[in-house]
A and B are shown apart, each in its own frame.
Chain A
Amino acid sequence: MARMTMIEAVRSAMDVSMGRDDNVVVFGEDVGYFGGVFRCTQGLQAKYGKTRCFDAPISESGIVGTAIGMAAYGLKPCVEIQFADYMYPAYDQITQEAARIRYRSNGDFTCPIVLRMPTGGGIFGGQTHSQSPEALFTHVCGLKVVVPSNPYDAKGLLIASIEDPDPVMFLEPKRLYNGPFDGHHDRPVIPWSKHDLGEVPEGHYTIPIGKAEVRRKGSAVTVIAYGTMVHVALAAAEETGIDAEVIDLRSLLPLDLDAIVQSVEKTGRCVVVHEATLTSGFGGEIASLVQEHCFYHLEAPVVRVAGWDTPYPHAQEWDYFPGPARVGRALVEVMEA
């Protein structure tokens, strides 16, 4: 076992995959010689050569479009979209092409690609470097959507994504790259080296896509979260003293509905947390599933905590980010309901 940051874990996943399979190629803006603006691909070009890890023009539709063509040929491209906020020029290629090639050709052609993209706020990135567009992907049939919350999962899930026969949107919460950020922005960053899930095997392993994980066992209320908000939810549970069960979804599509239902049936209460904007966010889907499947177990309305329905502001970042205080208030609210 080694200690890794989430950046190192993601890099290790690509390294292991490229070492095992010559068909895995990595490209994107600044990912080649320089190793990516977040350094996730550092050293891969030197190790595997510039035809397997290279810089791409600033053209997301071109990056995704060529990746689709490469996948049709038989390669397994794992490409980087520099920020999730930059994926919109590629949205046509993602939704109408990658997601449907298997279906429309009845399996004659397939599209095993991975789009890695840093997601979420917390780094003063303003409205074009802080977005969480996962619901724009979960609404598209044919895609898989994965959001890891720690280095161990990030590596296992990324290897699983690269080996998956279908297109995977792999959203990396950028505020988690260097430590398990719990929303207390005014406190020193705790590094992954001090966290259990910063222990990462150096070799190959996978974590199945579609399986959630319980991060904190509890009996009072179920908190459903993913990515950065998992750590925020854990902090809120500790700080309120409410015995919350915190579920880390890890994969939004496919979704581990059984894990959600099992927990909510036990606790009878549910809070859904995400950083993305509230309206038509993925939390709406989860709340709806909970009422469909657990209605007679519920003792309080399902509450959602999310980013405000505004663009992500710059100076007011910490008034926007749904931190532990806001999640804590929601926990109290469902307990008192």
Chain B
Amino acid sequence: MSDPDRLSLHVPEPAVRPGGQPDFSNVKIPKAGSVPRPEIDVAPEEIRDLAYSIIRVLNRDGEAVGPWAGLLSDDELLAGLKHMMTLRAFDARMVMAQRQGKTSFYMQHLGEEAVSCAFRKALNKGDMNFPTYRQAGLLIADEYPMVEMMNQIFSNESDPLRGRQLPIMYSSKEHGFFTISGNLATQYVQAVGWAMASAIKNDTKIAAAWIGDGSTAESDFHSALVFASTYKAPVILNIVNNQWAISTFQGIARGGSGTFAARGLGFGIPALRVDGNDYLAVYAVAKWAAERARRNLGPTVIEYVTYRVGAHSTSDDPSAYRPKTESEAWPLGDPVLRLKKHLILRGAWSEERHTQAEAEIVDAVIQAQKQAEGHGTLHAGGRPSVRDIFEGVYAEMPPHIRRQRQKAGY
């Protein structure tokens, strides 16, 4: 009798660990402009290959090329550049503020600014995002006041959320930004429900769901795709693939499927993969999906291929799990520098104006910070009342919570 074959468990590993040479040869980058732009009402099965490619508009020389180019004016692109620069400057100041003890926690967008800033411009007033913690560009690009964001981050006396929620878990119905939970993937299926409601009411508004590469492994992601597919909900199902879920590389959540976008195919949902560091490409693809949703043609999955240059959060140190220079090797470059180059090439921008704009933006962020700090920071100055702990659990405070509030002395 021969020995039976023994089984072994496959545990995926990233290409490189700390100390190694960064290697992104596994990320296949098609030429800018090479991916076709299908008609809005295309049947999902006709564009299955778009789930495995990468839609790109800006080429290495900074030119906008191909069928997805040509949608945005100089002024719109300049506004987009300023939004991304503002988000970057805002992040830098808030990371510093966290180091200074003015808040407990912060999460930055470094390298991913194009995704949320460009996406916001593809939506209309009244549409609703169900964001994760790394889409503050949705607020910045919609001109939500930075001071309000900082008041929330500092949990001060003017915090719109009254000190109850972790820093950066903003909420603004007015700006189409659903309250961030901090819990992963739950909001994905809620976005589908919001979109279903809009369709039930024969409204014209659409929803946008947001998730990271790692959280696509949650069952809520799959529930969301089932419901979106079944009811053809007017929702854009965004997946931000920034390569890292804290210390876990994207291969752990992706498993054997070629791409995250390809998850949509099994549900009969059109799925597009886009260069997440290309402001023009993000906008063009988001606009395509938004139009499809608005025409009652149903959901679209979009995977944004990008890279998390910074740490996961201020509590994280990426040098413990990936090479320090990995971000420099990322083949899709920096979204701010790429758009800047394009605008200079268009004759709409210059190095001098860029330097000047940078200074102005940093100044605006500092001014906002001064104003917010006037209302207090986490451990100093004005803060929300202890009374705020007990308010708002229910529309009307029940007797048992009132008794506890009184016990607390308020």
B118 at the interface (CB under 8 A from A): no
Which A residues touch B398, using CB under 8 A?
Answer: 210, 253-254
Given contacts A102-B393, A106-B171, contact A66 B400 (CB under 8 A): no
Closest to A69 in B: B193
Given contacts A52-B200, A96-B181, A142-B394, contact A69 B226 (CB under 8 A): no
Closest to A110 in B: B395
| Other-chain contact of A57, B164, B188, B198, B227 (Cβ < 8 Å) | B227
Which B residues touch A166, using CB under 8 A?
Answer: 394-395
Given contacts A73-B194, A105-B171, A109-B179, contact A62 B393 (CB under 8 A): no
A108 to B179, CA, bound (A): 8
* B165→A104 contact, CB < 8 A: yes
* B179→A69 contact, CB < 8 A: no
Given contacts A92-B183, A103-B392, A109-B173, contact A74 B197 (CB under 8 A): yes
Interface size on A, residues (CB 8 A): 44
Which A residues touch B196, using CB under 8 A?
Answer: 66, 69-70
Which B residues touch A100, using CB under 8 A?
Answer: 181
Interface size on B, residues (CB 8 A): 47
A165 to B223, CA, bound (A): 26
B172 at the interface (CB under 8 A from A): yes
A74 to B178, CA, bound (A): 13
Which of B169, B199, B393 has most chain A Cβ within 10 Å? B393
Q: How far is the CB of B387 from chain A (nearest CB, A)?
A: 13
Cβ contacts B143-170/A at 8 Å (1 or 0 each): 0000000000000000011101100010
* A65→B179 contact, CB < 8 A: no
Given contacts A75-B197, A75-B200, contact A106 B192 (CB under 8 A): no
Closest to A22 in B: B201
A104 to B398, CA, bound (A): 18
B230 at the interface (CB under 8 A from A): yes
Given contacts A65-B224, A66-B190, A141-B393, contact A72 B181 (CB under 8 A): no
Between-chain CB contacts (< 8 Å), 15 pairs? A57-B223, A65-B188, A65-B189, A65-B190, A69-B191, A69-B193, A69-B194, A70-B196, A73-B198, A97-B181, A102-B394, A102-B395, A104-B165, A109-B171, A254-B398
What 5 pairs across the A-B complex have the smallest Cβ distances?
A69-B193, A66-B193, A65-B189, A62-B223, A73-B197
Taking A25-B200, A107-B392 as known contacts, 12 extra A-B pairs with beta carbons closer than 8 A to each other, sorted by chain A number, are A51-B199, A52-B200, A61-B219, A65-B193, A69-B195, A70-B200, A73-B194, A74-B201, A97-B190, A103-B164, A106-B392, A109-B173
